[in-house]
A = this chain, B = another copy of it.
Amino acid sequence: MAELAVSPLAVELPELPPLAGVRLAAAAAGIRYRERTDLVLAELAPGSTVAGVFTRNRCPGAPVEWCRGALKGGRARALVVNAGNANVFTGRAGFEATRATAEATAQLVDCKPRRVFLASTGVIGETLPHERLTAALPGLHAALRADGWEAAARGIMTTDTFPKAATRTAQIDGDTVRITGIAKGSGMIAPDLATMLCFVFTDAKIPHAALQKLLARGVEGSFNRTTVDSDTSTSDTVLLFATGATRHARVPSDGGRLLRGFARALDDLLLDLALRVVRDGEGAQKLVRIDVGGAVTGRSARRIALAIANSPLVKTAIAGEDANWGRIVMAVGKAGEPADRDRLSVGIGGTWMARDGGVVAGYDEAPVVAHMKGREIRIEVDLGLGRGRATAWTCDLTHAYIDINGSYRS
């Protein structure tokens, strides 16, 4: 596979300080790629809790099924991620690969296999050479470091052109905790979920039930509002680990008021990571934000925003820097949600070009044309029907998307 140029929308990796209770390492296990890391191990302190959200695709990969089972225990000691082979549609061999990997890891970190979480991304339908994974694990375990964050963010990449991570702090009853996440993904990105893999860690001590609630809510407002190509991965996984290695007030199992600040910081971090994934959308040249208001409900607004975000005609128009608002009208109409053409308004970059079903009289295209030439495009739609609002993010559809996806396996 040819080397891909870094996305013009790429953003820098932030400073990633150590997080109490987490050590990480990456290695080159030679699963598919040459001369790059493709295997990541994260070790979590004893007592760590975990929450997870997975793809709704009906043909999920073996690692997703493994994680769903392991999640029932609510506790985690390790995470193993490989890039290059998704271990999807691999039948019995796929399950055996997950079991063997979890058992080998469990032995190294001294826990039950069900406390090991797994994720794989890459090609579908090829048997995962898990003996290469298990052979690389002891060395990886010996190399675990508290400052292994960047190595981990790079080791989980596939067609990604830049590594993705974000970090935040939050207060729990006056004590400061940290939340750090890494993510990968650039194609086959759509709700639910919008990314292939995202792993978030905190040193807070949060019971599994509360953690799960926080994660589900956070994903709804971030990854489930972004789309690259409407295709849903068979491997999408978001895991949130809480090591409890930092001392703070005890959090009850239902979370509650104490976690308000934490929830805000988590939501913010998840959206940050989701937008980094969109910025690396295959072939993306422009980041597109779509704000829909005036819909009959929030759910209706969300569907309309995603219909616009997924429309190939809207996305190619943006790639061509064409302020073709007629295609936005088309996409609103195709969403199947309540819409009244004669109340509909459409704006780009802060300029309303269509109001209440017709072109704005004397509408000056110049500021819109200038906006379309930028890297970040904003589309606004007002349905004029109710108070439902939603925002979605996507990228444009360019030649590079076709280059990347027409030759992924070659």
Once A234-B330, A341-B58, A358-B89 are accepted as A-B contacts, the answer to whether A402 and B399 lie under 8 Å apart by CB is: yes
A376 within 8 A of partner (CB): no
Report Cα–Cα, A357/B311, bound state, in Å.
32
Question: How many copies, total?
Answer: 2
Once A332-B58, A336-B56, A357-B89 are accepted as A-B contacts, the answer to whether A405 and B317 lie under 8 Å apart by CB is: yes
Is A90 a contact of B358 with CB atoms below 8 Å? yes
Q: Mark A311-350, 1 if CB is under 8 A from B, else 0.
A: 1110011011010111101111111111101101000000
A177 within 8 A of partner (CB): no
Q: Mark A82-103, 1 if CB is under 8 A from B, else 0.
A: 0000101111110000000000
Q: A410 contacts which chain B residues (CB < 8 A)?
A: 320, 322
- A16-24, A149-157, A224-232, A287-295 - the one binding chain B: A224-232
Is B398 a contact of A313 with CB atoms below 8 Å? no
Q: Tell me the minimal C-beta distance from A400 to chain B in angstroms.
A: 10
Give A86's nearest chain B residue, CB to CB.
Answer: B326
Once A89-B357, A344-B59, A399-B399 are accepted as A-B contacts, the answer to whether A330 and B233 lie under 8 Å apart by CB is: yes
Is A312 a contact of B91 with CB atoms below 8 Å? no
A354 within 8 A of partner (CB): yes
Q: A57's contact among B127, B330, B401, by CB below 8 Å, is which?
A: B330
Q: Mark A179-207, 1 if CB is under 8 A from B, else 0.
A: 00000000110100000000000000000
Is B405 a contact of A313 with CB atoms below 8 Å? yes
Report Cα–Cα, A60/B127, bound state, in Å.
49
Q: A312's contact among B326, B336, B405, by CB below 8 Å, is which?
A: B405
A59-B333, A89-B358 provided; 20 other pairs, C-beta below 8 A? A58-B335, A58-B341, A59-B344, A89-B326, A90-B359, A91-B356, A92-B358, A124-B326, A230-B230, A230-B310, A230-B311, A231-B327, A231-B334, A232-B334, A316-B405, A319-B402, A322-B406, A322-B408, A322-B410, A402-B402
Sample 19 A-B pairs with CB under 8 A, ordered by A number: A57-B333, A58-B332, A58-B337, A59-B329, A89-B326, A89-B357, A90-B359, A124-B325, A124-B329, A126-B359, A188-B313, A230-B311, A231-B313, A234-B333, A312-B405, A317-B405, A320-B405, A320-B407, A320-B408
